[in-house]
């Protein structure tokens, strides 16, 4: 009888890559068949992710710092848990340096301009390709991301 084994990554097993202005990205897992992608970010104050719509649900957990969505009044701080249903639309803004957030996402982010026209679509596969490319560009070895 087959018994699957747990898979462990230590804090330093997967590197963070700079995604601009000193904000960082780490890709933890991509399950292509399920459209799942799990990432961790460290944002600097002022970093903004363009307005986007989710095609699947998203779970976010903040471990330090503070960030918000332009469209809402609440602020996500250390210990905050956020659920975003499929179809939700928002613009992420980081308001404190060294804000760490873990996101578990299904589907794609459909990026939108000010008039809600689609500018691009990002999913786990594209994010993984970007992560690998940034590791190479930043002189880091190719990480062993959990990919299925």
Which pLDDT tens digit goes with each residue over 103-112?
999 999 999 9
Pairing between β-strand 146-147 and β-strand 23-31 as defined by DSSP bridges: parallel
Angle at 86 between CA 46 and CA 67, to 5 degrees: 20
Please indicate, yes or no, if residue 143 is contained in any of the structural domains: no
Residue 81 in domain: yes
Q: Look at the pTM and tell me if it is higher than 0.85.
A: yes
pLDDT digits (tens, 9 = 90+) for 36-72: 999 999 999 999 999 999 999 999 999 999 999 999 9
Please state, in angstroms and rounded to a whole number, the distance separating the CA atoms of residues 29 and 124. Answer: 9
CATH of the domain at 72: 2.60.120.10
Per the structure, the complete domain to which residue 115 belongs is given by 17-124
The structure tokens listed for 89 are: 């639309």
């Amino acid at each position: 009888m087959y018994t699957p084994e747990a898979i462990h990554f230590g804090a330093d097993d997967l590197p963070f890559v700079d995604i601009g202005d000193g904000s960082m990205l780490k890709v933890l897992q991509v399950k292509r068949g399920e459209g799942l992608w799990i990432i961790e970010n460290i944002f600097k104050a002022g970093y903004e992710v363009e307005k986007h719509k989710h095609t699947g649900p998203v779970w976010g957990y903040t471990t330090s710092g503070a960030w918000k969505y332009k469209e809402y009044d609440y602020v996500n701080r250390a210990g905050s848990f956020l659920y975003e249903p499929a179809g939700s639309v928002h613009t992420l803004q980081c308001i404190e340096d060294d804000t760490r957030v873990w996101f578990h996402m299904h589907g794609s982010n459909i990026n939108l301009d000010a008039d809600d026209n689609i500018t691009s679509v990002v999913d786990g596969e594209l994010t993984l390709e970007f992560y690998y490319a940034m590791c190479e560009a930043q002189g880091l070895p190719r990480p062993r991301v959990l990919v299925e």
